[in-house]
Every structure is written in C-alpha cells, then in structure tokens.
Chain A
Amino acid sequence: QKEVEQDPGPLSVPEGAIVSLNCTYSNSAFQYFMWYRQYSRKGPELLMYTYSSGNKEDGRFTAQVDKSSKYISLFIRDSQPSDSATYLCAMILLSGNTPLVFGKGTRLSVIA
C-alpha cells in the first residue's frame, strides 16, 4: 500500500462547479497537510497548509482534514478556467527535517 493515494484524474468540470479533490494516507503519524497547485511547465506552488483536523478556508478554497479516517480534501467553489492545473496533496511527519510525501496529483480542467 502506498503511503499517499490520490486519483490522477483527469477531472473535467464546467465553470462554476464545486470541485472536490481527495487524498488518503496510511501513516497516522502524518501531522501537517498541504495542497499544491501546479500549472503546466511550472513549479508547484503552495495553496493550502493545515495542521489539525477540521476545515480551513481561503477564498474559494477549503482544505479539510480528517485524521481519524486518514483522509484529506480540497474543495474549490465557483471554479474558474484559471483553476485548471494539477493539484498535489502532500503531508509530513511532525519532525521538520523529513521530506514531504506527495500524492501523484490530480489533473483538473475547468471548461468555460
């Protein structure tokens, strides 16, 4: 079983739709959770960063963490064509000097 599982997609939605992106993980020691957005031919950029279980909202984006189920989600409201990108989940143990573990990324296309 891989440490982090993420559906690669592709996921195609119409403009204005609510998008749900998900990752599951197997190691209950993961404490910090992140979502990165990567546009084609660019480096990933940090989108959301959470520590505890629950929801964190930033504009149209909401990150949700459920540590009991080992499940994290990213919701995008009122999706825009500019949201078309690959979204990668990432997580890390409590110790800051161990590398992040990434999901393989979900490719999202928002159609105008």
Chain B
Amino acid sequence: SQTIHQWPATLVQPVGSPLSLECTVEGTSNPNLYWYRQAAGRGLQLLFYSVGIGQISSEVPQNLSASRPQDRQFILSSKKLLLSDSGFYLCAWSRRGPGGELFFGEGSRLTVL
C-alpha cells in the first residue's frame, strides 16, 4: 500500500529564518507531487506541483520554492520566512493519468514569529 510521510509536524521559526519541509511517498512510482498551504479559515492554496524529477510548476508567486531531487521526494523551502508564511502545509500525491484523486500527508504546522 502507498503511504506518504511529511515532516516536521510542527515548527516555530523566527522571521527571516530558512525553512525546509520534506515529504516522501512510499509504495508507488512516478507520482505527481503537490504542496498546498491552508491558512486559518481559508481553503487549500496550491503552491507547487511536480510531474517528474526536476519538473516544478509554481502556482503562486512568493518567497517559497520547491524541489524534487528524487522520484518520491518533494521539498518545500524558503531562504527567509515572512510572517505571512505561517500556516498549515500539506504534501499530497496522485497517480499519473485520468482521475487524479489526491492523497494527503498529515501536514506541517508552521508558525513564524
């Protein structure tokens, strides 16, 4: 069966510090990978998605970046965090081809102070 792991689960960071959130998927190959952000009281905002190693599509201009160094690894980064980066970050994967239902990780709650 497929599983998705995301870490860290919770982190508190000062403004201007770097960020690295990591996500890995097990039990499948060539998945589509996604990073979402969910701010309090708001819906899911798609940040990045990837259909293959080194292929990243950005949906929203911001100070975040994503990388996919391996087939089942997806990393969300920032060089300098802003207060507005606080939120609940979710990694997700889907199979290739029609259908495309997403399977989410447990999320990472980021508080920037």
List chain A residues, Cβ under 8 A from B88: 41
Distance of A100 Cα from B36 Cα, bound (Å): 11
| Residue from A45, A100, A102 having most chain B Cβ neighbours under 10 A | A100
Identify the stretch in A14-22, A55-63, A90-98 within 8 Å (CB) of chain B at 4 or more residues: A90-98
Chain A, interface residues (CB within 8 Å), range:
20 to 34
Q: Smallest CB-CB separation from A31: which chain B residue?
A: B98
B interface size (C-beta, 8 A)? 29
Contact A104 B98 (CB under 8 A): no
Contact B99 A42 (CB under 8 A): no
Determine which of B43, B97, B99 lies in contact with A102 in the assembled complex, contact meaning CB atoms within 8 Å. B43
Q: Smallest CB-CB separation from B91: which chain A residue?
A: A43
Which residues of A are in contact with B by a Cβ distance under 8 Å? Answer: 8, 31-32, 34, 36, 41-46, 49, 88, 90, 92, 94-100, 102-105
